[in-house]
Amino acid sequence: MKNTDGLIEFSVLHFKNSGTYIYYISEQAFTDSKISYDPVRYKVEITVMQEGRFYQTTVSYERDGKAYTTLPRFVNTTKGSPGEPDEPIDPDKPYKPDNP
């Protein structure tokens, strides 16, 4: 798995049979108290159909039980001081717990 700017990319999947394959994707929340981790959960449905010697696939996504038409994405925020709004994490500046 690769995570770039909140977009996730998985290794290629290989299927040897037709069918419907369902996966669920969520973010593992770590213990850093300065970050609010995105709690969203995606359902990924991959339908595999054999056409001659080859297989064709279609992929659909659901986010929190509703159809989702773009690629899954997780958005975390850093927690502000009391009374301050949370700030989105800048993907161009890696977050370091000891030096936010």
Global pTM reads 0.67
Q: Is residue 25 part of a domain?
A: yes
Q: Is residue 99 part of a domain?
A: no
Whether 81 contacts 100, CB under 8 Å: no
- The reported pLDDT for the residue numbered 99 is 42
Q: Is residue 94 part of a domain?
A: no
Radius of gyration of the chain, Cα coordinates, nearest whole angstrom: 18
Count of other CB atoms within 10 angstroms of residue 72: 19
Q: Is residue 95 part of a domain?
A: no
Instruction: Return per-residue pLDDT of the chain as tens, 100 residues.
Output: 666 666 677 788 888 899 999 999 988 888 888 888 888 899 999 999 999 988 999 999 999 889 999 888 888 888 765 556 566 655 555 555 544 4
Q: What is the number of structural domains in the chain?
A: 1
Q: Is residue 98 part of a domain?
A: no
Q: Is residue 74 part of a domain?
A: yes
Q: Is residue 100 part of a domain?
A: no
> Residue 6: enclosing H or E segment and its boundaries?
none
Q: Is residue 64 part of a domain?
A: yes
- The reported pLDDT for the residue numbered 100 is 46
Structure tokens at 45: 């449905």
Cβ neighbors of 38 (< 8 A, separation 6 or more) are: 27, 74, 75, 76
Whether 1 contacts 72, CB under 8 Å: no
- The reported pLDDT for the residue numbered 71 is 86
- The reported pLDDT for the residue numbered 42 is 93
Domain that holds residue 46: 2-88
